[in-house]
Amino acid sequence: MKKIELYDKITILEREVTLLRKRTRMIIRLRSEYGGLGDHLQFSTLPELFTKAGHDVYLHNGVVCRNHEVKELIYNKNHFILGENAGDWNAGDCPEIKYKNTHEDFIKNWEHANGLTATNSFPKIYYKPETVENIEGLIELSSISLKYGSNEVATIVKDIIAQNPNINWKQLTTKMQQNEILIEGIEKVLAENIYQTIDYINSCTHFVSLSSGSHMIAGALRHHNTKFKQTCLLPHYKYDDMMYLKHFILPLVDYIRV
């Protein structure tokens, strides 16, 4: 009789969970373990997929968001979420669900891990952006979760600007930003809220950022806007692991080690 290894048992359990979710109407309670914009956006496609699979989707009432705009954008505007629920946390990155590098895209990996058919390559938002005039090159350099060297980032960004001399570059700042790195000699534009941030990114021709919530927002815009070029700077100490595991790595982005 063939010996069943632990890995095989885990694989069998995952398949059983997937089949159960496909056959049984369930109460889905979604949240992220962490509170950042990008942390929540990585699960932003799940409510729609769960709903279309016949389940009732709620936001778990233990959810933590870094600020009120994150919750409003990702959950309150998502019409596939029915409200909040205090039951067991069972979707997103709850302890029972393990991320595995099973597909070509980060978002698809999470969809698969949650027992769904891997469908999307990008996060989703349910806000229709407006167009801001006179926005070409746009730089946004804030990051909370990852640490960057300010001088190294500034050097890379100045190289990108020098390589694209025909673009009018501006740096985007916001009231919610933390740990931002300012580049001398280029115009600064201020976004009063998260929606203006989205409008600015949607309006540009080349977007440069660190690995942050704005990087994931740009990815979410790809569902209806594939025209702008996107560059993301990754810290050298995380680059190899992130690229291998596809952690917060999206298609149509040029990733640069810093």
110-124 per-position pLDDT tens digit: 999 999 999 999 999
Per residue in 60-100, pLDDT (tens digit) is 999 999 999 999 999 999 999 999 999 999 999 999 999 99
Q: Exposed, middle or buried by CB within 10 Å (0-12, 13-18, 19+), for 96?
A: exposed
Domain parsing of the chain, residue ranges: 6-113, 137-257
Low-confidence ranges of the chain (pLDDT < 50): 1-4, 6-7, 9, 12
Question: Which helix (H) or strand (E) segment is 60 a member of?
Answer: strand 56-60
| Residue range 137-257, CATH number | 3.40.50
pLDDT of residue 2: 43
Give the list of residues 6+ apart from residue 100 with CB closer than 8 angstroms, or none: 109, 112, 113
